[in-house]
Amino acid sequence: MAGSLIKIDEEIVTSAVASVTLTGIDSTYDVYMFVTNNVHSSNDGVNPFLRFTVSGTEDSSANYDWAFKNIRADTTFGNESATNNNEINLDVLGNGTGEAFNCVIYLFNFNNASEYSFMTLEGVNMNGTPVSKGRQGGGVLTVAQATDGVKLFMSSGNIESGRFVLYGLKKW
């Protein structure tokens, strides 16, 4: 398994930015992996959103469908879903001390213009209470087109800091 993850693109945010876009997805790999680590928001109670890119430009059409299981340490688990959205809602994030968002997203069919691009997500964050929260599920862009990357941004305010990496998963 050594050498199975090939870094395609990376951005480390140390001062506030509106969004992070990582591109470089092509036919080299069948599956890609987008990883966020220690993501902080400038605003409280915002949602990290994800869109796919086409030729480096975000697809903001209302063609995103997603569904997640929310796993919380302080209450019962819950379901959340949406259809015909213009982004995929990855979670809810605060800006208090210790609040951060982390996730691993696998990207499928991105380089295939005849198929829908879709993703699966495993995410975890800590809110200000502090309460550990997790999220498991996936999303799809219901347009048959080749996509070449991802864009992450907040529902309001900026990304204060974090590490963002796009990997290709080496073919066997």
Bridge-partner residues for 79, per DSSP?
69
Domain boundaries, the chain: 5-169
Q: For residues 124 and 101, give the distance between their C-alpha atoms in angstroms, rounded to a whole number.
A: 6
Tokens of 147: 């996509």
Burial of 157 (0-12, 13-18, 19+ CB in 10 A): middle
Are the C-beta atoms of 34 and 52 separated by less than 8 Å? no
Are the C-beta atoms of 159 and 18 separated by less than 8 Å? yes
CATH of domain 5-169: 2.60.120
Tell me the pLDDT of the chain (172 aa) as tens digits. 567 899 999 999 999 999 999 999 999 999 999 999 999 999 998 999 999 999 999 999 999 999 999 998 888 899 999 999 999 999 888 887 788 999 999 999 999 999 999 999 999 988 777 778 899 999 999 999 999 999 999 999 999 999 999 999 987 6
pLDDT tens digits for range 96-123: 778 899 999 999 999 999 999 999 999 9
